[in-house]
Amino acid sequence: MVDEDVLKNATETAWTVYRAQHPDVDAHDSRRCLLERHLLRRREERESDAEELASFGIAYLHRLPSDEC
């Protein structure tokens, strides 16, 4: 299992990259919470480094339907 700093860094990286690609998304958008929960579940399933978790997070955010958030 990875530590909290790795999870936090992965979340910040994924969210920053996603918002750079989608400037219309607010910093406090509900997708951020969904991302955090998704990465927490990934972390619990298997050990991953921050870079790998961030990539999972970015892919997850791109799969979310925009009208659902």
Domain ranges of the chain: 4-68
Which residues does 57 contact at the CB level (< 8 Å), separation at least 6? 10, 11, 13, 14, 15, 18, 35, 38, 39
| Residue spans of alpha helices (H) in the chain | 4-21, 30-45, 50-63
User: Residue 51 has which token pair?
Assistant: 């870079």
- Per-residue pLDDT band for 22 (boundaries 50, 70, 90) equals very high
pLDDT score, position 45: 80
pLDDT score, position 47: 75
Distance separating alpha carbons of residues 38 and 21, to the nearest angstrom = 20
pTM above 0.85, yes or no: no
